[in-house]
Amino acid sequence: MAIARSQLLKELEPGLNALFGLEYDRYDNEHAEIYDTETSDRAFEEEVMLAGFGTAPEKAEGAAVSFDTANESFTARYTHETIALAFAITEEAIEDNLYDRLSSRYTRALARSMSNTKQVKAASVLNNAFDSNFTFGDGKELCATDHPTAGGGNFRNELTTAADLNETSLEQSLIDISGFIDERGLKIALMGRKLIIPVNLQFVAERLMASNMRPATADNDVNAIRNMGMLPEGYVVNHFLTDTDAFFIKTDSPNGFKHFERAAIATSMEGDFDTGNVRYKARERYSFGVSDPRCVFGSPGA
């Protein structure tokens, strides 16, 4: 359905002082603080987790050496979605508008809608991180206390007892990250790089990470997290996180958060010969997901 003059009555009358409502600034590209972006040339992408070897056993004198096998553990699949939106304006509405070029004004509104959708979809991976209805390659939700491994054990990337963001919970999260194991149960050297929080926790995060002394105490102790150089990339606020007390730590695990771009955003315009309407469309294809859950540690809040 095209935008007609009946929907733009005030813009057809003299004496209008201003048009407003479409010129707000927007939160753009917040997904870039979380995801590594790669291009894709197919309908979906798959990434396979490999399981290496276990702990090497002692070999007795004269005995045969032990053999181990390596195999594939699980597969993470990224299925690209097509996101598109369009609008049309009647020929008469374009002709009779007195105040601006309707096409340029609503094209900017179209761009904001596309951008907002992209940020919502990117944040949904974290918004559903504790929901067992949204699983990843290993069959578990993103943040869980029982991620299975090929060696038969489990690892967790969630606090055993859910807690709000504070000095104790943040320190425990960093300790737990240092205890991550690989698919065969071997210790791996990972550390937290960045704290990801909703807007509601920005003041808490600033006090925890920016002060030289321990926050919220009368003790003359140093702020250990700051003094030890933990979380070297600081914290980032994501305005599209919906849980007001959940927090996440992005680790330096390779092949973690992935954003595949199948087709970059493109716009097109065409006129309809029969009606004279002008139609505008924006379209892009992409996917957001996680290959290795060791890339994040989280808490849903108390």
Residues 142-164 have pLDDT tens digits of 999 999 999 888 999 999 999 99
Residue 15 counted as domain residue: no
d(CA 85, CA 122): 18
Task: Give strand ranges (E) for 198-277.
Answer: 235-237, 247-251, 257-271
pLDDT > 70: what percent of the chain?
90
Indicate the pLDDT class of residue 75, thresholds 50, 70 and 90: very high
285 versus 107: the higher-pLDDT residue is: 285
Residue 22 is predicted with a pLDDT of 54
| Token pair recorded at residue 17 | 């002082």
Residue 58 is predicted with a pLDDT of 94
221 versus 294: the higher-pLDDT residue is: 294
Q: How far apart, in Å, are the Cα atoms of 132 and each of 80, 101, 113, 136, 165?
A: 22, 48, 29, 10, 22
Residue 239 counted as domain residue: yes
Does residue 8 surpass a pLDDT of 50?
no
Indicate the pLDDT class of residue 85, thresholds 50, 70 and 90: very high
Residue 46 counted as domain residue: yes
Indicate the pLDDT class of residue 194, thresholds 50, 70 and 90: very high
Residue 59 counted as domain residue: no
Q: Is 247 helix (H, G, I), strand (E, B) or coil?
A: strand
* CATH code, 259: 3.90.1690
Residue 172 counted as domain residue: yes
Task: State the amino acid at position 295 in one-letter form.
Answer: C
| Token pair recorded at residue 78 | 């990224």
Number of domains in the chain: 1
Residue 150 counted as domain residue: yes
| Token pair recorded at residue 157 | 């990337």
Pairing of strands 278-290, 257-271: antiparallel
Average pLDDT over residues 11-15: 44
Task: Collect all residues with Cβ–Cβ distance below 8 Å to 25 and sequence separation of at least 6.
Answer: none
| Token pair recorded at residue 274 | 């029969």
Does residue 14 surpass a pLDDT of 80?
no
Residue 19 is predicted with a pLDDT of 41
Q: What is the pTM of this model?
A: 0.88
Pairing of strands 154-155, 247-251: unpaired
Average pLDDT over residues 66-90: 93
90 versus 133: the higher-pLDDT residue is: 133
Burial 59-83 (b: 16+ CB within 10 A, else e): eeeeeeeeeeeeeebbebebebeeb
Identify whether the C-beta of residue 101 lies closer than 8 Å to the C-beta of residue 22: no
pLDDT > 90: what percent of the chain?
71
State the chain's mean pLDDT as an integer. Answer: 89
Burial label, 217 (beta-carbon count in 10 A; 0-12, 13-18, 19+): exposed
User: Which residue, among 156, 151, 158, has the nearest Cα to 185 in the 3D structure?
Assistant: 151
Q: How far apart, in Å, are the Cα atoms of 84 and each of 121, 263, 282, 284?
A: 14, 12, 6, 7
Does residue 15 surpass a pLDDT of 60?
no
Does residue 117 surpass a pLDDT of 90?
yes
Indicate the pLDDT class of residue 257, thresholds 50, 70 and 90: very high
Indicate the pLDDT class of residue 109, thresholds 50, 70 and 90: confident
Residue 78 is predicted with a pLDDT of 97
Residue 101 is predicted with a pLDDT of 63
Residue 17 counted as domain residue: no
Lowest mean pLDDT among 5-14, 23-32, 46-55, 169-178: 5-14
Q: Which domain holds residue 204?
A: 33-52+72-299
User: Which residue, among 117, 120, 119, 145, has the nearest Cα to 130 in the 3D structure?
Assistant: 145
Residue 21 is predicted with a pLDDT of 47
d(CA 219, CA 201): 24
Residue 256 counted as domain residue: yes
Indicate the pLDDT class of residue 275, thresholds 50, 70 and 90: confident
d(CA 164, CA 243): 11
Average pLDDT over residues 79-102: 79
> If you compute the radius of gyration of the chain from its CA atoms, what whole number of angstroms results?
26
